[in-house]
């Protein structure tokens, strides 16, 4: 009987080995990444775009999904926003926003770090200067800060006042020697905490105040989106375009040199209007890139 059981076991052994080998192969195949290439459909020369009814609608009223999305020049987009305001009888001084989607992907699963930047707009839409708090314990620097328009000037004694929400500002700048005494404010101020790479730490207090009192701040949110005000709709179209150009130029300055397209989508909109897609390369004629808009 023992001999029979041994024979049966020996007979099953090759079968078990085969089953295990098949399972191992399946698990290895499952681990392999299946990379699907993005198929780019070339509509050049076609009488209509692939999957659409026609290149452009004939009637004024139509279903959008049956036609390709309209992407305009930046100047035309600004004119359209002004026209929408006239037809809808909405406030003429409403804000104008730009919405950008950036390609932050680098090689080897790395990404461009989200950034914060401050620019000087050629045609500011705000009349009141930003409130700037200066951290310094140098009497000469404190005097220079007060003379150049700082809202609040002080040293470590301001930390508790900020933590208690008794004082606040739009921007916080500091001289290097006082920075170690401000550590408690990191969680409170977060992105507003003074940092050298953002230009909010330095010994040239007048220069920092000149930038941040009249500067316009924008930042990347949700890893790849920029949404910021560029103007008000009652400003001349050329002024809106110039402000838009300034912001886009600064955005492109954060693109690594080896990267290709940076802006995947560019939209202009006012507070009450629909979104108008525009070609970002029209704003930056000197930037050699092909946007995926």
214, 230, 245 - which closes a domain: 214
Q: How far apart are the first and last CA of the chain?
A: 78
- Is there a single domain that holds both residue 96 and residue 222? yes
Residues 236 and 256 in one domain: yes
Measured CA to CA, the distance from residue 127 to residue 141 in angstroms comes to 27
Q: Which of 80, 50, 81, 84 is nearest to 67 (CA)?
A: 50
For residue 203, the domain's CATH number is 3.40.50.790
Residues 196 and 147 in one domain: yes
Residue 293 included in any domain: no
Query: pLDDT value at position 38?
Result: 52
Count the domains in the chain.
Answer: 2
Cα dihedral angle (76, 104, 227, 270), rounded to 10 degrees?
20
Domain boundary among 186, 214, 242: 214
74-88 helix and 237-252 helix, angle to the nearest 10 degrees: 130
Residue 246 vs residues 108, 213, 241, 243: alpha-carbon distances, Å: 32, 18, 9, 5
Task: Please report whether residue 190 resides in a domain.
Answer: yes
Residue 147 lies in a domain: yes
User: Is the entire prediction scored with pTM above 0.95?
Assistant: no
Q: Are residues 112 and 151 in the same domain?
A: no
Here the tokens at position 129 are 């200067």
Q: Residue 60 burial (CB < 10 Å; 0-12/13-18/19+)?
A: exposed
Q: Are residues 116 and 171 in the same domain?
A: no
SS3 87: helix
Residues 110 and 224 in one domain: yes
pLDDT in tens, 2-57: 444 444 444 556 666 666 767 766 666 655 555 555 565 666 666 666 666 676 77
Q: Measuring CA to CA, how many Å separate 200 from each of 22, 106, 191, 197? A: 61, 28, 11, 8
* Structural domain includes residue 4: no
Q: Which residue did the predictor score with more confidence, 257 or 202?
A: 202
What is the span of the domain harbouring residue 175? Answer: 132-214
Quick check: is 8 in a domain?
A: no
Say yes or no: 225 and 208 in one domain. Answer: no
pLDDT tens digits for 220-266?
888 889 999 999 999 999 999 999 999 999 998 888 777 767 888 99
Domain check: are 107 and 236 in the same one? yes
Average pLDDT over residues 81-91: 92
What angle is formed at CA 179 by the lines to CA 174 and CA 180, rounded to 5 degrees?
A: 170
pLDDT of residue 276: 93
Domain stop point among 174, 190, 214: 214
Q: What is the pLDDT of residues 98-109, one digit of tens each?
A: 999 988 877 777
Tell which phi-psi region holds residue 244, choosing left (phi > 0), alpha (psi between -120 and 50) or beta. Answer: alpha
**What is the model's pLDDT at position 80?**
94
Longest dimension (CA), the chain: 105
Same domain, yes or no, for 152 and 79? no
How far, CA to CA in Å, does 250 sit from each of 1, 111, 272, 291? 86, 19, 27, 16
Do 113 and 227 reside in the same domain of the chain?
Answer: yes
Domain check: are 225 and 117 in the same one?
yes
Read off the CATH number of the domain in which 264 is found.
3.30.190.20
Closest CA to 185 of 162, 202, 155, 211: 162
Strand bridging mode 132-135 / 152-154: parallel
């Amino acid at each position: 009987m023992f001999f029979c059981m041994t024979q049966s076991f020996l007979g099953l052994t090759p079968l078990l080995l085969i089953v295990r080998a098949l399972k191992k192969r399946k698990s290895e195949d499952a681990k392999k990444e299946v990379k699907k290439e993005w198929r780019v459909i070339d509509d050049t020369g076609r009488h209509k775009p692939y999957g659409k009814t026609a290149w452009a609608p004939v009637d004024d009223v139509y279903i959008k999904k049956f036609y390709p999305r309209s992407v305009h020049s930046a100047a035309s987009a600004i004119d359209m926003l002004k026209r929408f305001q006239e037809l809808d009888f909405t406030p003429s001084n409403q804000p104008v926003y730009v919405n950008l989607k950036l390609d932050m992907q680098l090689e080897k699963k790395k990404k461009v770090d989200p950034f914060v930047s401050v620019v000087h707009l050629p045609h500011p839409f705000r009349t009141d200067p930003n409130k700037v708090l200066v951290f310094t314990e140098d009497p000469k620097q404190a005097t220079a800060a007060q003379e150049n328009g700082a809202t609040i000037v002080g040293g470590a004694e301001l930390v508790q006042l900020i933590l208690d929400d008794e004082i606040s500002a739009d921007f916080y700048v500091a001289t290097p020697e006082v920075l170690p005494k401000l550590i408690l404010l990191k969680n409170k101020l977060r992105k507003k905490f003074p940092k050298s790479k953002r230009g909010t730490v330095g010994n040239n207090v007048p220069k920092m105040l000149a930038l941040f009192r009249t500067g316009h701040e924008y930042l990347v949110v949700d890893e790849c989106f920029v949404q910021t005000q560029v103007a008000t709709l009652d400003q001349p179209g050329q002024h809106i375009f110039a402000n838009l150009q300034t912001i886009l130029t600064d955005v492109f300055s954060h693109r690594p040199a080896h990267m290709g397209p940076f802006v995947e989508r560019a939209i202009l909109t006012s507070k009450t209007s629909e979104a108008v897609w525009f070609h970002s390369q029209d704003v930056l004629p000197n930037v050699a890139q092909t946007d995926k808009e």
